[in-house]
Amino acid sequence: MRLPSSYAVLAAGLAQVQAQYLISELSFGTNKRISAEGSRSIPNFSLQGRPNVPELLSDRVILTPVAPGNQRGAVWADRPLPEQSWIADVEFRANGPERAGGNLNIWLVKDGAHTVGSDSVYSAGRFEGLGLLVDQHSGSGGMLRGFLNDGTTDYAHHPNVDGLAFGQCKFTYRNLGRPTQIKLRHTEEKFVVEVAGRTCFQSDKIRIPSGYHFGITAASADNPDSFEVFKLAVLTEQAPGSSRSSSSSNNNNNNNNNNNNNVKRPRMNFGRSGQVSVEDPYDNAIPDQDADTITSSRAQFADLHNRLQSVNHHLSTIFRSVAQNAGVDEQRHAELSAMLGELKGQLARLDKVDALEQWLRDIQTEMRGMRQEMAGRLRDSERAIKYHVDDKHQTLAEDVKGHAKSGHTRLILVVVGSQLLLAGAYAYFKRKQTSPKKYL
C-alpha cells in the first residue's frame, strides 16, 4: 500500500536553501486523496482519453489500462504556470507483460489541452513548449528524452523525431512495483531533469516562458503497458500570489511601490537549437519629468531611487544579453567550424575531380591515337587487298581465255563427229532392211 505524501515530506527532501511553496492549483496527489470521494474529476485539472477517459482512483490516475491496447489518456492543468523559477515533481508507475510497449509524456506547453490533447511527442504536431518522453527507445530497458519546439516544427510529420531530442538518459521504469520519480527544475541559471534522485541531463541555454500548462499523457501499443500517475507537484520559491517586487518594496513609499509593480519581468524564449532571446522590458519604464515638479526631498529621493533601480535593471539586462550573445557566438563559431570542415571535404573532392578530368583527357588522347592508327591500318589493308584481287583477277581471266579457245574447237569437232557417226549408222541400218532376204 502506498503511503500518502504531503508538502512537508516533499519540502524536507528538497536540498534547497530558499523556502519553497506548493502551487496547489497546479498539483495533485499531495494529499491523502487525489479528489473527493465519489468524484470523477481532479480539481483544477481536465481528463482526456481516446477511446476511453482515464480511470480515476483515490490515489492515482490510470492513463492507459492493462487491456485493451491502443489507448490514449491525458491529464491537463486548467491554469497556466505563472512563475519563471519552479520545480515539478512527477511520480508514475508502468506495468505490463514482457514485450509490451507504450510511452509516457510530461508536458509544459502553451494551451496544451487543445494543442496536444492526448497525443504523444511523435504525434503532437506543432506544439510550443517542452516535452519529456519516457519509453523503450531502440530496445533499451527505458529512456527519458527531452524535446523543445517553438511552434514551427510539425512533430507529427517530421521524418526523424528522435533526432530532435536535446537530452536523454537511460533508466529502468517497468514492472518495479513502486512509483518512479521524475523531477524538473527550472531557474534563471539552468534547466535540470532528475530521475530517481540522480541528474538525467541539464542545460543552461533553455528558458521556458511563463504562462504554459502542465500536462501528462500516455499511449499504449497493441501489447500495452499500463501507466499510472500518482502525483504532480509544482513548487516555487515565491509564495503563491506574491512577487519579488512587492516583497522588496515594503520599505519604500507608495510611489516606489507603484513604479516597482509596473516593472515587467523579462520573457525568455527558446528556439529549436536551444538558443535564448531576451526582450528588453525596461525601455522607458520611468517616464521623463521636469525637475520643477520635484518640490520635496522625499520626492527627489524617491525619483533618484526609482531611476537607480531602472539603471540596475538595464545593466542586468545588458549583462544577460552579453552572456547570451557569447553563447550564441560560440554556437555560431562551432557551426562555422563545422561548415569549414565540410568545405574542406568538398575541396578535397574537387582535387579528385581534377584528377578525373586529367584521366579523361589522357583517355581522349589515347583514343584519338588509336583511331588514327586504326584508320592507317585499314587503308593499308584495303590497298593490299585491292592489289592482290587485281593481280589474281587478271591471271584468272587470262587462264580462262586460254582454256576457252582450245575447248571450243574440240567441242565442235566432238559434236560434228558424233553427228556424222549417227548418220552413217542410220544409213547402214536402212540398207540392211531394204536388201533381199536369203533362205536356206
User: Do both 225 and 327 map to the same domain?
Assistant: no
Asked if residue 147 lies in contact with residue 164, where contact means CB atoms within 8 angstroms, the answer is: yes
Torsion of CA 133, 134, 135, 136, to 10 degrees: 120
- Say yes or no: 332 and 228 in one domain: no
pLDDT tier at 338, thresholds 50, 70, 90: confident
Model pLDDT, residue 60: 92
d(CA 228, CA 249): 45
Q: Give the confidence band of 264 by pLDDT, cuts at 50, 70, 90.
A: very low
129 shares a domain with 30:
yes
C-beta of residue 29 within 8 angstroms of C-beta of residue 5? yes
Residue 227 sits in the same domain as residue 96:
yes
**Are the beta carbons of 137 and 120 closer than 8 angstroms?**
no
What integer pLDDT is reported at residue 99 of this predicted model?
85
Report the percentage of the chain scoring pLDDT > 70: 80
Contact 210, 68 (CB under 8 A): no
Is the pLDDT at 421 greater than 80? The verdict is yes
Cα separation values, 329 from 275, 324, 334, 337, 341, Å: 11, 8, 8, 12, 18
For residues 233 and 92, is the Cβ–Cβ distance under 8 A?
Answer: no
- 28 and 130 in a single domain? The answer is yes
Distance from chain centroid for Cα 419: 112
pLDDT at 95: 92
Stretch 179-206: mean pLDDT, rounded?
93
Q: How confident is the model at residue 440 (pLDDT cuts 50, 70, 90)?
A: low
Residue 171 lies in a domain: yes
- Mean pLDDT value across residues 111-138: 92
What is the pLDDT, as a whole number, of residue 404? 61
pLDDT number for residue 403: 65
Residue type, 92: F
> What kind and span of H or E run contains 181?
strand 180-186
Residue 278: its pLDDT value, please? 37
Q: What is the pLDDT of residue 73?
A: 95
Q: What is the pLDDT confidence band of residue 294, given thresholds at 50, 70 and 90? A: confident
| DSSP secondary structure letter of residue 39 | -
- Over range 28-45, report the average pLDDT: 87
Domain residues for the domain of 228 are 21-236
**Which of 214, 189, 203, 168 has its CA nearest to residue 74?**
214
> Is residue 395 domain-resident?
no
Question: What's the confidence (pLDDT) of residue 8?
Answer: 42
> Cell match 529621493: residue?
301
User: Domain holding 205: CATH number?
Assistant: 2.60.120.200
In a domain, 177, yes or no: yes
- In the listed set 332, 349, 381, which residue is the last one of a domain according to the structure? 381
| Residue 334 sits in the same domain as residue 231 | no
**Higher pLDDT pick, 249 / 289:** 289
Is there a domain that residue 283 lies in?
A: no
- Report yes or no: 231 and 29 within 8 Å, Cβ to Cβ: yes
Q: What was the pLDDT predicted at 438? A: 59
What is residue 411's predicted lDDT score, i.e. its pLDDT? 79
Q: Name the percent of the chain lying above pLDDT 90.
A: 41
Phi and psi at residue 55, to the nearest 5°:
-85, 135
The 8-class DSSP code of residue 171 comes to: -
Q: Is residue 309 included in any domain, yes or no?
A: no
Under 8 Å between Cβ of 242 and 97? no
Residues 6+ apart with CB under 8 A from 244: 238
In this structure, are 219 and 330 located in the same domain? no
Write the DSSP symbol of residue 251: T
Q: For the sheet with 45-50, list strands across it.
A: 45-50, 72-77, 213-220, 102-109, 128-135, 143-150, 167-170
Mean pLDDT of the chain: 80
Bridge partners of 101, per DSSP, are 224
Q: Is the pLDDT of residue 259 over 60?
A: no
Kindly state whether residues 335 and 216 are assigned to the same domain.
no
For residues 211 and 116, membership in a common domain is answered with yes
Q: Using CA atoms, how far apart are residues 353 and 401, in angstroms rounded to an integer?
A: 70
How far is it, in rounded angstroms, from Cα 193 to Cα 173?
A: 16
* pLDDT(12) > 50: no
- Is the pLDDT at 439 greater than 70? The verdict is no
Rounded to the nearest 5 degrees, what angle is found at the Cα of 128, between the Cα atoms of 124 and 129? 100
In a domain? residue 431: no
Residue 226 and residue 361 share a domain: no
Q: Does a structural domain hold residue 1?
A: no
Specify the DSSP element, H or E, that contains 412: helix 297-434
| Residue 242 pLDDT greater than 70, yes or no | no
Last residue of a domain, one of 349, 381, 413: 381
**What is the structure's pLDDT at 118?**
92
Domain tally for the chain?
2
- Statement: residue 25 has pLDDT above 80: yes
Q: Is residue 266 part of a domain?
A: no
pTM of the model: 0.54
Stretch 174-201: mean pLDDT, rounded? 93
Residues 343 and 204 in one domain: no
Q: Is the domain of 208 the same as that of 330?
A: no
Lookup: cell for 271: 528556439
- Where does a domain end: 344, 365, 381? 381
The model's pLDDT over 340-399, given as tens digits with 9 standing for 90+, comes to 888 887 777 777 787 888 889 999 999 999 999 999 999 989 888 888 888 777 788 777
DSSP string, 78-91: SS----SSEEEEEE
